[in-house]
A and B are shown apart, each in its own frame.
Chain A
Amino acid sequence: MAIPNFTYKGNRVLLKELTKTDFKLRYQGSVLGYLWALLRPLMMFAILYVVFGKLLRFGGDIPHYSVYLLAGTTFWSFFTECTNQGIQAIVQRGELIRKICFPKYIVVVSATLTAVINLLINLVVVVIFALLDGITPSWTWLLMPLILLEFYCLALGISFLLGAINVKYRDITSIWDVLTQALFYAVPIIYPISMIATTSDIAAKIILLNPIAQIIQDIRYCLITPETVTTWNYVGTSNFAIKLIPILITVIILIWGSWYFRKKSKKFAEEI
């Protein structure tokens, strides 16, 4: 297998067919069908909003806290869905890999693309919520695709890396489960980052060096209000290079993940 070659027609066709199948079969046999793609993240949002927004009053003085929270949970759901599907993709398609020769990365990309489609559907809901909450569209909305691309690269890199290890050591699935739980609290999704900053400035800065935190804050900045604290306006005010750490982490994970996956993919058929 050479460098992923999307220009080769056969690979594109296979990617399209596999993604189509994945998406078509995801909600097969359920009464509400595709609606679940919308309902699940919305329900998760509702629970968190009641517990943290209304009971614990995390929102404080944050303007548009409900949209703020919804944007956070939507993108977080995408991240967990994308990585979970991506990591398990190779093992789930084991039967295929043992019997037919095709570029293995296609399986991972198609599994993660299903999550991207779900995110795009959910994004429509987020935008509707934002408009209802009195947010006026601004030019910063146009930056969203860039942030989305960064997030996808991060999730894809993790999927390649952990997915390749998962073929031999299935413990990865369980470890990643626990790790995402921890990550959920390590990034400002339910709590505003200003809450951390008031107790420890350093802790808030470290949190913002996590690419997931950087991405989620950037999304809020672009979508909701430029008052949002982001890596760009809060961290490394004296040294610009520090601001680039989250981007650097993303790039390293993607390159490392792809390289490792490519190296290991030759043996997938034997090891599954």
Chain B
Amino acid sequence: MENDIAISVKNLHKSFKLPTERAWGLKQAIFNRLKGVKGYKEQKVLNGISFDIHRNEFVGIIGRNGSGKSTLLKTLAKIYFPEKGSIDVNGNLIPFIELGVGFNYELSGRENIYLNGALLGFSNKEMDTMYDEIVDFAELRDFMDQKLKNYSSGMQVRLAFSIAIRAKGDILLLDEVLAVGDAAFQQKCNNYFAEIKGKQTVILVTHSMENVRKYCTRAILIENGKIALDDSPEKVAKAYENLWK
């Protein structure tokens, strides 16, 4: 793989087996087997997707609900295994499919940072070096020894978000998480993304064309599990808005 390429995806296929109406239960299973009926329907979600993402590109992935964006992201994050095709990742990939995954409400903020770090593959020593930055960005230093359940929901997402962006990864995967918290914190998030634009590899799944235009250096429109358009943010955002006009 060329050194300049962060992620190389080739001919990705993924489908899910969705159980049909009454496929559950032993009786129905035997019945289906006898009649030769498959108890499930095959749903093709990704249908031959290929692209290369270069280092320091900020790529927006857009598409309507059910077009396969999130599945693509989860496949990139190695949560799902593709049936066909390959994904080559060059560097350390930090997935944030949802904020606050793995948070434990009975643990303190500090403990949660280390637990979350371990889930992302960072050792405690590595987390030590990131700890201060995370706490400072979240502006939660006074609350670090409090249990997470005593945080307000805004404080919880601030902590999760800070871990996401301060974890030292090469590639950041984000699903619809950009600006969280109150207005002041949202502003801080926006500034942060404007700042890293073109300096870090980010893949963002979003529905907001405003964000695509503002932060992305490239956008990919996905329709029915295929790439419909892979171009500049402006062109792709227009194409997306024209989908239902």
Which A residues have a C-beta under 8 Å from some C-beta of B? 9-10, 13-14, 16-18, 21, 24-25, 28, 95-102, 266-267, 269-270
Is A17 touching B104 in the complex (CB atoms < 8 A)? no
Query: A57 to nearest B CB, angstroms?
Result: 45
User: Which one, B16, B80, B101, B107, contacts A100 given CB within 8 A?
Assistant: B101
A-facing residues in B88-113 (Cβ within 8 Å): 95, 97-98, 101-102, 104, 106-107, 111
B114 in contact (CB, < 8 A): yes
> Which residues of the partner chain B approach A101 to less than 8 Å between Cβ atoms?
77-79, 95
List residues of chain A with CB within 8 A of the CB of B122: 10, 13
**What distance in Å separates the Cβ of B240 from its nearest Cβ neighbour in chain A?**
26
B74 sits at the interface (CB 8 A): yes
Interfacial chain B residues near A270, Cβ < 8 Å:
16, 80
Q: Contacts A10-B121, A10-B122, A95-B101; is A269 near B107 (CB within 8 Å)?
A: no
A102 with B97, Cβ < 8 A, contacts A17-B115, A28-B106, A269-B80 known: no
Q: Which of B97, B107, B121, B123 is within 8 Å of A21, CB to CB? A: B107
Q: How many residue-residue contacts, CB under 8 A, span A and B? A: 61
Give the docked Cα–Cα distance between A118 and B74 (Å). 37
Q: Smallest Cβ distance from A270 to chain B, in angstroms?
A: 6
- B contacts, CB < 8 Å to A: 16, 74, 77-81, 95, 97-98, 101-102, 104, 106-107, 111, 114-115, 118-124
Instruction: Return the contact of B102 from the options A10, A24, A96, A267 (Cβ within 8 A).
Output: A96
Q: Which residues of B contact A17 (CB under 8 A)?
A: 114-115, 118-119
Closest A residue to B99 using CB positions:
A99
Once the chains bind, are B74 and A10 in contact (CB under 8 Å)?
Answer: no
With a CB–CB cut-off of 8 A, which chain B residues contact A100? 77, 79, 95, 97, 101-102, 119-120
